[in-house]
Amino acid sequence: MEEIFILIAEDDADDRFLLNAAFEENGFKDRLEFVENGVELLEYLHNLAQSEHSPRMPSFILLDLNMPKKDGREVLREIKQSQHFKKIPVIIFSTTNNEQEMRRCYELGANSYITKPNSFENLIKTVSVLRGYWLNTSKIPS
């Protein structure tokens, strides 16, 4: 079975720790990679694409909106305009719960928009639903 690979762009160290713990609580044993800003995310993807070995793109990207250097909106736009990356599902994962912001992200090509839960217990539930839908239910063309 092919290894599952989830790429998470999150600038907050506490949120990275909690996300990692929530995936562990859900029994996730595959590949979970973190980057801290939009520039790192795009560099990471470009390095994968230029790899001499068959590049394994992420199963999905969990993307925070408000990050330093290059924010999530700019990154989302670039991913969805790229021939190499546009098929990768991008799930916005943000504290922003603004209808206009959500609409803008969907217009830029977001596949889903999730407001960060307010407790670790709810984060565990959110990660469970995320995994179930994006890794078991949804099918992405290669």
Instruction: Please give the model's pTM, rounded to 2 decimal places.
Output: 0.91
Q: Crossing angle of helices 38-49/72-81, nearest 10°? A: 20
4/1 Cα distance (integer angstroms): 9
> Quick one: pLDDT at residue 54?
60
Q: Identify whether the C-beta of residue 91 lies closer than 8 Å to the C-beta of residue 62.
A: yes
User: pLDDT tens-digit profile of 76-102?
Assistant: 999 999 988 999 999 999 998 899 999
8/18 Cα distance (integer angstroms): 12
Q: Identify whether the C-beta of residue 42 lies closer than 8 Å to the C-beta of residue 70.
A: yes
> Quick one: pLDDT at residue 37?
95
State the chain's mean pLDDT as an integer.
90
Task: Reply yes or no on domain 28-54+62-137 having CATH 3.90.180.10.
Answer: no
129 contact partners, CB below 8 Å, separation of at least 6 = none
Task: Give the strand pairing for 31-35 and 5-9.
Answer: parallel
